Chains A and B, each alone.
Chain A
Amino acid sequence: MTQSPSIEVVVDATLATTVAAGDHITKGQPLGHDPDSGHTTTSPTNGTIESITFDANNHLFRIRIQTKHGQSHP
């Protein structure tokens, strides 16, 4: 059985992410909000949140999403 590919999405860490590790998510679902730009970061793919880590040097959350087989993403 092959492992689904995973992608990383970063969101500003000022506000919490709107998802947690283990969540199943759909393409377009909000992942986090950047109060700085007013921009809401959304998931580029369907999949499962594999992990969320805090990047202290850049003050970002790094969200790793395991994509579903056959799902296209940028």
Chain B
Amino acid sequence: MRYQSTHGRIVLSVILAATWLTSFVQAASTKPTTQPQRPPTLRPMAFDYGDPASSVNDISFYVPPDSTKPYPMVSPSRETTNVIFMIGDGMGVAQVMLTRLRATGRAGRLHMERMPCVGLVNTCSANALVTDSAAAGTALACGTKTHNGMLGMKPNGDRFISILEAAAKKGRRTGLVATSAIAHATPAAFSSHVEARKMGAAIAEQQLANRVNVMLAGGKAEWIPQSQEESRREDDRNLLAEAQQAGYLFVDTKEKMFAAMGDYVLGLFQINALTTQEPEPTLAEMTQKAIQLLDEGCHRSDADKGFFLMVEGSQIDWACHANDPHKCVRQTLLFDQAVKAALDFAMKDMNTLVIVTADHETGGLTINGANFRKKRINIVWTSKGHTALPVPLYAFGPGSTELCGVYDNTQIAKRIAKRWAINPFPRKLK
């Protein structure tokens, strides 16, 4: 009996211990972990674009090239009268290829891909392998590296002249077109000098003082006094009124933009960034209008010295931050339509250098395969931020051969400056 009783106690103890251990393990496994989680990288995704009922799949606005043949080479001995510098924010090689696969199929080409000269551009900033748009914009505009966040100046605060400002000093007309606010990082890099990209109000003041001939974008918020709704200013300056007093024609609708004439035109079509939807003008329409205004201005002037125009497809970056392939394709196609508008002009003119590149890649996008019958492309995003990947450059026109090869993003403005005998460049702003 004693043996049986002892044995029973042992069995009971084992059962109790097992029960306790089981409940402990279960509790531990359901307890939320407080350890740092892995970064949200590597997002494989099936990019399905076959459903015609879904508005995200509508790319009917895009007119693909009627040929895959490259545009002709233009003799480098021809004069480079005009430069149209086009920047797809966040547009890496994979973004271009994804857009091509979606819009034209494997054998097709985007308009930008028909440009005859191709380069590969390194993008790192002065303080980081992964740049932001402010430092990259400064490198593209001023030919000098700076810290992320800074615009138009070296890390020590020395302000450097941009290629747009240097062109204006040489008597050329200048223009800025973007789908972001006009005071956003990339257009700001060509037209202002501030310590931080957040200083939108100061950027807008400098853009006005710089007397850029044509500015078409979003971003009224930095131009209206603080008393007005949605203003991003902290003072009572009304830069829209000041611009009109300074001789600018201000337009805020597509119809007014199409009708605009004159040497100074400011078109701001939204309070912040553009929606890139009707009834706004498209990036291609703004590009076409800016070219027309700048070109006509040159012909009106006694000294026809040409123009410099910067065009940014700002929202490719934003689509890639969101890891959204539909928006990425749409924004890249809107940008490519603007490239076509620039190439149409350059093909007639033959003295215009068109450069298409990016400030950095966003999203770490790659393409793993596709099933075209099912209208599906297998993609992977490796990041929700920018990456250090080099970006493509496409060029057409006199001087384009000088942009072939692998080089740093500071080289582009330097090579334009050399072409235009702007010397020295880069240089400090007086």
Cβ-defined contact, A13 with B130, below 8 A: no
Q: How many A-B residue pairs have CB under 8 A?
A: 79
Interchain CB contact under 8 A, B148 and A56: no
Q: Please, which residue of chain A has its CB at the minimum distance from the CB of B232?
A: A57
Number of interface residues of A (CB under 8 A): 28
In this complex, which of A20, A35, A48 has the most chain B Cβ atoms within 10 angstroms of its Cβ?
A: A35
B196 partner residues in chain A, CB cutoff 8 A: 36
Do residues A36 and B37 form an inter-chain contact, with CB atoms below 8 A?
A: no
A46 contacts the other chain (CB 8 A): yes
Q: Is the CB of B318 within 8 A of A54?
A: yes
Contact for A30 among B36, B181, B322, CB less than 8 A: B36
Tell me which residues from 195 to 221 in chain B have a Cβ below 8 Å from any Cβ of chain A.
196-198
Q: How far is the CA of A37 from the CA of B131 in the complex (A)?
A: 13
Residues of A within 8 A of B198 (CB): 58
Q: Decide: B32 and A17 in contact? CB cutoff 8 A.
A: no
B127 to A24, Cβ gap below 8 A? no
Contact with B130, one of A14, A18, A25 (Cβ below 8 angstroms): A14
Cβ-defined partner of A61 (8 Å) among B132, B133, B181, B384: B384
Task: State whether the Cβ of B149 lies closer than 8 Å to any Cβ in chain A.
Answer: yes
Chain A residue numbers with a CB within 8 Å of B41 are 16
Interface size class of B (residues with CB under 8 A): 35 or more
Q: Which A residues touch B55, using CB under 8 A?
A: none
**Which residues from B are CB-within-8-Å of A37?**
149
Residues of B within 8 A of A29 (CB): 36
Contacts of B132 in A (CB 8 A): 12, 14, 35-36, 59
Whether B39 lies near A16 (C-beta < 8 A) is yes
Residue in chain A with minimal CB distance to B219: A57
* A18-B127 contact given A35-B132, A36-B132, A57-B272, CB 8 Å threshold: no
CB <8 Å contact, A15 and B386: yes
Q: Mark A2-35, 1 if CB is under 8 A from B, else 0.
A: 0000000000111111111001111001100001
A48-66 to B contact mask, C-beta < 8 Å, 1/0: 1000101011110100000
Chain B residues close to A by CB (< 8 Å)? 32-34, 36-37, 39-41, 125, 127-128, 130-133, 147-149, 180-181, 184-185, 196-198, 272-273, 315, 318, 321-322, 383-386
Q: Which 10 pairs, one residue from A and one from B, show the smallest C-beta to C-beta distance?
A: A20-B40, A36-B149, A16-B385, A24-B32, A35-B128, A14-B132, A23-B37, A15-B385, A36-B148, A16-B384
Can you report 30 residue pairs joining A to B where beta carbons are below 8 Å apart? A14-B128, A14-B130, A14-B132, A14-B148, A15-B385, A16-B39, A16-B40, A16-B384, A17-B40, A17-B384, A17-B385, A18-B39, A19-B39, A20-B37, A20-B39, A24-B34, A24-B37, A35-B130, A35-B132, A35-B148, A36-B148, A36-B196, A37-B149, A48-B32, A54-B321, A56-B273, A57-B184, A59-B132, A59-B133, A59-B185
